[in-house]
Amino acid sequence: MARPTPEELEAARDLLVPDVLADGLDVLFCGINPGLMSAATGHHFARPGNRFWPVLYASGFTPRRLHPSEQHLLPQYGLGITNVVARATARADELIDEEFREGGRLLVEKVERLRPRWLAVAGVTAYRTAFGDKKARIGPQERTIGTTRIWALPNPSGLNAHWSLATMAEEFGRLREAASDGGR
């Protein structure tokens, strides 16, 4: 697959990337919003520097490192992907708080319908804004959506220098262990 041109990336602004969903997933991963590379390719976490796919493998969620174009395989591992805000932007800071709050409301509806065991929001700041929980920290949250538990994960963007690939894989691994415990 050829890398999108700058013109194709700009044309992807505000486009939507279809969710990867199924009923009763173990973990529904939730990004902040699609970047332009994701919108141009139609694949979540498609930017080459994004660490989502390497971390998913390193933490044991998948038996091998998947390419973003293989996102359709996730439900066979009990996994799915959505976003807090659906529209694509070059940077998350182009979004306004109202978009996060509305995205949180829509995300609750989606989770109530699909009933995953865990909702894993990759970006604690996005989680805080979408759900009005200013004190949220990385890790499991007290809040639930019905029987779905929530885990705030570090943002896998390559721009998130506070988390190395190894420490991010450890946190994702904690979630994987919790999701495989069988309890809600």
Q: Catalytic residues, which ones? A: 33, 44
Q: Which two tokens stand for residue 96?
A: 């306004």
Q: Which two tokens stand for residue 85?
A: 């805000």
Which helix (H) or strand (E) segment holds residue 39: the answer is helix 36-41
Residues in CB range of 103: below 8 A, 6 or more apart: 33, 83, 84, 85, 86, 130
- Whole-angstrom Cα distance, residue 130 to residue 53? 24
Instruction: Answer for the pair 138, 147: CB distance below 8 angstroms, yes or no.
Output: no
- Whole-angstrom Cα distance, residue 90 to residue 92? 7
